[in-house]
Amino acid sequence: MWEDLEIAVNKIDPEKCKAKPPQDALGFGNYFTDHMFLMKWDRENGWHDAEISPYRNFNLDPAAMVFHYGQAIFEGLKAYKGENDQIYMFRPEDNLERMNTSALRMCMPRLPVDKVLKALKALVYLDRDWIPTGNGATLYIRPTMVAVEPALGVRPSSQYYFFIIMSPVGAYYAEGFNPTKIWVTDKYVRAVKGGVGHVKTAGNYAASIMAAEEAHKAGYTQVLWLDACERKYVEEVGTSNIFFKINDELITPPLNGSILGGITRDSVIQLAQSWGIKVVEKQITIDEVIAACNDNSLQEVFGTGTAAVISPVGEFCYQDKKYVIADGKTGELSQRLFDELQAIQNGTQDDPFKWIVRIG
């Protein structure tokens, strides 16, 4: 069982190391490092066969349950290289704890957080040469758990894989910190209360692709989701949480079951409060947002998530009408939050909240 889970390390033959990708054209999620972590679970043995090994393919039965019934959960976090090549991670334990919340909802096994954190640190350190150093470039980390029992029938699988892969990614804002345009959909919904909207499970993202495609066709970058029942309360934007600054107050929808509890969301709330800004977690309707936009009390809108950290919104479209927020420019608070969070993540700024984990 996991109390005595040993982590084997099987390093790649140096001659088989992959060539490093071009650092100025990394994009997002296109390249993967030389190593990965894998461990297996079954009912008799619990977690076992924990191993850091060269990055490789899986050999899975076509009946593996994940292919049919979608028991799949994942996380997204980053490692950063700061001054003197010091390596940092941002709140990694929170990601693993959230994965356990996801696992519970999806009837999947709990992770031994301490062990996985240890494996994660070892993996990042082993592939440290893959962490980009350019401004804003990072190593994106993707822990994932899938059901692998080869059987048909809708029930919890009796076998799982947990793995971690890592991808060097470029700065999200390669062309500068520019506000995005978002498409408010009242045709599609992302999540319902009682469902799995608060869980990072694969099916949520599969279900969201069509709305995103329609938004892209209309010239918008992201979808703004409304609640599934009344289609009037704002929930999230794309795969990010959303914030509104109205009359100097920061408003974000509460975590009421259909919204993913973002770690960036939580960090923004804590940071803004520490600066004396009033933060209110409350439901807000799209009509309230439009009214605030029309009477100029809507000062800023931004999304929060690990990939982009802060994503300012400059314009939105709802029922064929366009609304421009603060002249389509990046707001002062959006910029300050982005700068501060990035500085904490890179280790160039004090870390009063103890969010940073040093590696090596």
Ligand X SMILES: *Cc1c(COP(=O)(O)O)cnc(C)c1O
Query: Residues in the site for ligand X, rule: CB under 6 A?
Result: 76, 200, 236, 239-241, 260, 262-265, 304-306
Nearer to ligand X, 263 or 301 (CB): 263
Nearer to ligand X, 159 or 208 (CB): 208
Smallest distance, ligand X to C-beta of residue 292, A = 23
For 254, the 3-state DSSP assignment is coil
Eight-state DSSP code of residue 66: H
Smallest distance, ligand X to C-beta of residue 260, A = 4
- Angle value at C-alpha 236, between 231 and 242, nearest 5 degrees: 125
Smallest distance, ligand X to C-beta of residue 241, A = 5
Nearer to ligand X, 33 or 204 (CB): 204
Q: Which of 329, 325, 304 is nearest to 177 (CA)?
A: 329
Eight-state DSSP code of residue 68: H
Q: CA torsion sign, 180 to 183 to 189 to 194? A: positive
3-state helix, strand, coil in the chain (%, to 5): 25, 30, 40
Smallest distance, ligand X to C-beta of residue 95, A = 7
Smallest distance, ligand X to C-beta of residue 148, A = 23
Nearer to ligand X, 117 or 151 (CB): 117
Question: From the CB of residue 4, how many other CB atoms can be counted at a distance below 10 Å?
Answer: 7
Nearer to ligand X, 149 or 340 (CB): 340
Smallest distance, ligand X to C-beta of residue 296, A = 28
Nearer to ligand X, 41 or 88 (CB): 88
Structure tokens at 305: 């998530």
Nearer to ligand X, 252 or 346 (CB): 252
Separation in Å, CA 306 to CA 264, 268, 294, 295: 6, 12, 31, 32
Smallest distance, ligand X to C-beta of residue 201, A = 9
Whether residue 113 contacts residue 343, with contact meaning beta carbons closer than 8 Å, is answered with no
d(CA 98, CA 175) in angstroms, rounded, equals 32
